[in-house]
Amino acid sequence: MLRHIAPIVLLFISNMFMTYAWYGHLKNMSGKPLAFAILASWGIAFFEYCFQVPANRLGHEVYSLPQLKIMQEVITMCVFASFACFVMKEKLTLNYLWASMCMVGAVYFMFRAA
């Protein structure tokens, strides 16, 4: 069971770093030069990869590559929605729900027995 859960936990952690690296500078570094934001984002992205690479290595032992990819996309959407709402103070609209429903369909097709 741990072999199935560990990749998911690592992907969540990875996505927290990724989301902050991609979008955190919009809130926290708007007054800084672009080069500074790029270098800071690269530094944060290093930690993303420290979790993402092991997640995919471990995950590929129990999941197919397409299954890993759709899990990553769903996790990204969950982390992004939380980040947008709580950090960036964006309103969650019904479009998040509709996009999530599309992803549920994608998960179904990736994980169903072919």
Concatenated DSSP letters of 25-68 = HHHHSTTS-HHHHHHHHHHHHHHHHHHHHHHHHHHTTTS-HHHH
Confidence of residue 45 (pLDDT cuts 50, 70, 90): very high
Six token digits for residue 85: 């709402």
Mean pLDDT on 56-70? 96
What digits encode the pLDDT tens for the residues 72-93? 999 999 999 999 999 999 999 9
Residue type, 30: S
Helix, strand, coil shares of the chain as percentages rounded to 5? 80, 0, 20
Domain-by-domain residue ranges, the chain?
Answer: 2-111
Q: What's the pLDDT at 56?
A: 97
Q: What's the pLDDT at 1?
A: 83
